[in-house]
Structure 1
Amino acid sequence: MKRNTINPQWDDPYLIDVPSLPQGSWEDNGQQLKLSVPKEFSFSENMKYLSNAPNECLFHIKDHRIYKAVPIGQETPIIEISAEHENVITIRFFGNTTPSRQEVRAAVAGYVSEWFDLETDLRPFYDLAKNDLLLHRAVSEFYGLRNVGIPDLFEALCWGIIGQQINLAFAYTLKRRLVENFGRSVELDGEQYWIFPSPHKIAALAVSDLAVLQMTTKKSEYLIGVAQLIAEGKLTKKRLLATGDYKKAEKMLVSIRGIGPWTANYVLMRCLRIPSAFPIDDVGLHNAIKHLMGTEQKPTKEEILQLSSTWTNWESYATFYLWRFLY
């Protein structure tokens, strides 16, 4: 059994964006990895959130376990994620997909940690939420919930673009069509595990190629344009984070065709983990506030700014927790 801290340095997009984990935060037992989790983490609460997407195509949930293929460089290990103990997440590799190299196992551990945002200390957020008009009920009902993220920048941008101005159910349908038509899959023991399309794959397509998705022409153009920027190395998580400023990162994203303030903040929140990201124009946020306030009218932007005045540097978590009342 080994305790490790490894930062993979391969020339591969799936590894460049994977964080290294602190010494002692995970154990490597070869076919099985164990991640230490903070007290303010509930596997059950996060599973409830993930289970609310019945048309999800990138992971399966069965018997309180998550099954997913995680592309790491040239390998695609298939993992089972479970939590038999409150303070530990167990990652088990299936079949012959156990990575032989420690670097790949480290990348998988980093991916799962990033997915569940395990490195964020939620105690300050819970402290401010206790006396907050909107958040006190949210943190009580969903204690241990994390901002379940989308570690891959291209997938996060695509999801943000696909979800523009349509309901969530149809967004999941479009996502499944995109994945099943242009992604790839791995089969193990009769089960199919899908991997999101690479930006290089989508960048090489024409708008007519995406007609099978039955998505608007504009959205197809946006997806291809973003894919080209990422494939060419002009848009990366590293470049966005290097701005060192939330507003600068937002401005960089909004300058891209098809990405407005809502999509930019969604990506900064779910992928870049920028705590101040705040999709203030989000309909779901408005409906959650309306629900909690017991009003007939949705709040105005000025009212939201007033209600959120104490959320400084926790806007993204506040939004995610409020969304949970609806999704």
Structure 2
Amino acid sequence: MEDNQIILPTPSEFSFIQNLGYLQRSTNECMFQIHDNKVRKAIATDEGTALIEISKQGEQSLTIEFLGNTKPTTKKAVEQVMEYITDWFDIKTDIQPFYDISKKDSMLQQAVDAFNGLRIMGIPDLFEAMAWGILGQQINLPFAYTLKRRLVEKFGTSITFEGEQYWVFPTPSVIAKLTVEDLVGLKMTVKKCEYLIDVANQIEIGLLTKEMLLETNDVKKAEKILTKIRGIGPWTANYVLMRCLRFPSAFPIDDVGLHNAIKHVTGSQQKPTKEELLKLSEPWNGWEAYATFYLWRFLY
């Protein structure tokens, strides 16, 4: 194997093609690029920015290739890249228990049959996950992608390879220094600008960390910490707990997309009420995040 390549083993319940399909759901994504069934992404390390290309290698492994001269020189920085990819693709989670639950739930079984091997594609960076949750509040998905692109291209950093630009999400330290006036040109609401700056400040000064949330080891305690932050309601909190913190029982029960997905799968004319959804989701106990993600996949 070449010096700039690393082989990353994947579990049997993992499909690179299914995860690639999810990543391709928007043509306006700015955080990675996909060509010829390969994903290219810039990843920040302590040493600088690495540009990697991920491709399928056999049935149960991925090839990670460092492009250009961006392979880090230290073992620690290489490990940071590998940890990011492992987290991004949720490779460490054993999802067989979720598949076992699905066998007894006709709605989930349809989703598992359609998307077998899909993982909850994550957002490993806490600030990026919270920013994405804030940007997506009360707007449609295409406009959320537009807002994210504007934010990233104005305040993020990038590297260029073969004429293409690859972006790294703005850091909390950059956003914390801004004022609302600095952000209004992106065409998001004043409230969202305020929320984004507030969250950046809390992360920058250490009042909010990924470790703090993980150490609760309790989805309700972690949700409570997040919902104390201005602009972070239960939906945003659970979205972050799903996609960044990897709490399998995180459950954005009020999500409109989830309601529409259930309506789609069941063929119902009506969206489920909260009471109906609570009853429907009883068998998902402990795996609500995966159930939600798989059902979302029917629509997004």
Give, in whole Å, the separation in 1 of the partners of 2:59 and 2:138: 39
Give, in whole Å, the separation in 2 of the partners of 1:183 and 1:122: 34
- C-alpha deviations, 1:252-300, integer Å up to 9, x for none? 0000000000000000000000011000000000000011111111100
Q: TM-score, normalised by structure 2?
A: 0.99
What amino acid sits opposite 1:112 in the alignment? I
Give, in whole Å, the separation in 1 of the partners of 2:48 and 2:259: 42
Partner of 1:10: none
Partner of 2:105: 132
Select which of 29, 39, 43 maps to 1:66.
39
Consecutive unaligned residues of structure 2, counting only runs of 5 or more, are none
Q: Is the 8 A contact 1:30 1:98 kept in 2?
A: no
Matches within 5 A, 1:83-162: 83-162=56-135
- The CA deviation at 1:134 is 1.3
Give, in whole Å, the separation in 1 of the partners of 2:280 and 2:294: 15
Give, in whole Å, the separation in 1 of the partners of 2:97 and 2:292: 16
Matches within 5 A, 1:260-271: 260-271=233-244
- The CA deviation at 1:170 is 0.2
Select which of 57, 76, 96 maps to 2:49.
76
Would you tell me which structure has more helix in proportion to its own residues?
A: 2
Q: Is the 8 A contact 1:199 1:230 kept in 2?
A: yes
- C-alpha deviations, 1:182-240, integer Å up to 9, x for none? 11111122111111000000000000000110000000000000000000011011001
Aligned length: 300
Structure 1 runs (4+) greater than 3 angstroms displaced:
none
What amino acid sits opposite 2:27 in the alignment? P
Partner of 1:31: 4
What amino acid sits opposite 2:254 in the alignment? D
- C-alpha deviations, 1:66-94, integer Å up to 9, x for none? 00100011310100000031111110001
Select which of 124, 148, 172 maps to 1:199.
172
Select which of 312, 315, 323 maps to 2:288.
315
What's the secondary structure of 2:54's corresponding residue? strand
Give, in whole Å, the separation in 2 of the partners of 1:102 and 1:192: 26
Partner of 2:253: 280
What amino acid sits opposite 1:296 in the alignment? Q
Percent of pairs with identical residues: 61
- The CA deviation at 1:133 is 2.7
Consecutive unaligned residues of structure 1, counting only runs of 5 or more, are 2-28
Give, in whole Å, the separation in 2 of the partners of 1:43 and 1:86: 9
- Aligned Cα RMSD in Å? 0.9
Q: Is the 8 A contact 1:126 1:139 kept in 2?
A: yes
What amino acid sits opposite 2:110 in the alignment? R
